[in-house]
Amino acid sequence: MTVNYVAFAEEKLKKEFGKLESGKFEEKQLYEFINRAIEDLKKNPFCGIRMSKKLTPEHYIKKYGVNEIWKYDLPRGWRLIYTISGDSVTILSMILEWFNHKDYEKRFNYLIF
């Protein structure tokens, strides 16, 4: 049996997530969206969309040493970026970042018309 865990890549990110819970309406809503994503990742780490390795921004490779990232589409155009590591017993989904669609397009260098 495989055990699935979800963690934040940095303590700072974990704190930012915690602050959302007591923020304005939109922040509380985002907190719920991310919390739902965390529960989904605990059930199935592969529930997101695997991003093409050639689209992986250099930022993630340099900062986290990852070469494979996944995207989980949150409601209202938000995106959650994570990576997966593990073995046959334990799988860890590590949350790297979340952002709105506009910032997501910037991070991934998509052309905006």
CATH number at residue 34: 3.30.2310.20
pLDDT tens track for 66-84: 989 999 999 999 999 999 9
Q: What is the pTM of this model?
A: 0.93
The answer to whether residue 81 is domain-embedded is: yes
Q: In what order do the strands lie in the sheet with 3-8?
A: 3-8, 90-99, 79-86, 70-73, 49-50
The answer to whether residue 112 is domain-embedded is: no
Domain, as residue range, for 28: 3-107
The answer to whether residue 35 is domain-embedded is: yes
Considering its fold, how many domains does the chain have in total? 1
The answer to whether residue 113 is domain-embedded is: no
**pLDDT score at 61:** 93
